[in-house]
Amino acid sequence: MQLRCYRCGWSFAINKDEIAFALAALEGSQGNHYDVRCPRCRQANRVALEQLRRAVPRSAEPAPAPIEEQRPTEGSKDDPPASEP
């Protein structure tokens, strides 16, 4: 995730591990922003919770379970009774 310091204008990035840590910390403390320090001037820059959520890679999100077609098994309740000759 690319950020720009509002004080010195330095562009820097935070990695996926830091984003995951920030999300976990914010969910535990009911916060709405995370402070990221600029590596150049050490100024704290606020990053909104929603911006962090958008930056999470899609592969980290749980994938929906595949929907399998269910076929009735032999002798199930849904089958009509077999006629005897």
Bridge partners, residue 11, by sequence: 4
Report field, pTM of the whole predicted structure over 0.75: no
Cα distance from N-terminal residue to C-terminal residue, the chain:
73
Choice between 33 and 83, residue whose per-residue pLDDT is larger: 33
Does 79 have pLDDT greater than 80? Answer: no
For the chain, the structural domain boundaries read 2-58
Instruction: Provide, rounded to the nearest whole percent, the portion of the chain with pLDDT above 70.
Output: 66
Does 42 have pLDDT greater than 90? Answer: yes
What does the alpha-carbon distance between residue 36 and residue 54 come to, in Å, rounded to a whole number? Answer: 16
Give the torsion through C-alpha atoms of 47, 51, 52, 58, to 10 deg. Answer: -160
CA angle 2, 63, 3 (to 5 degrees): 5
What is the three-class DSSP state of 38? coil
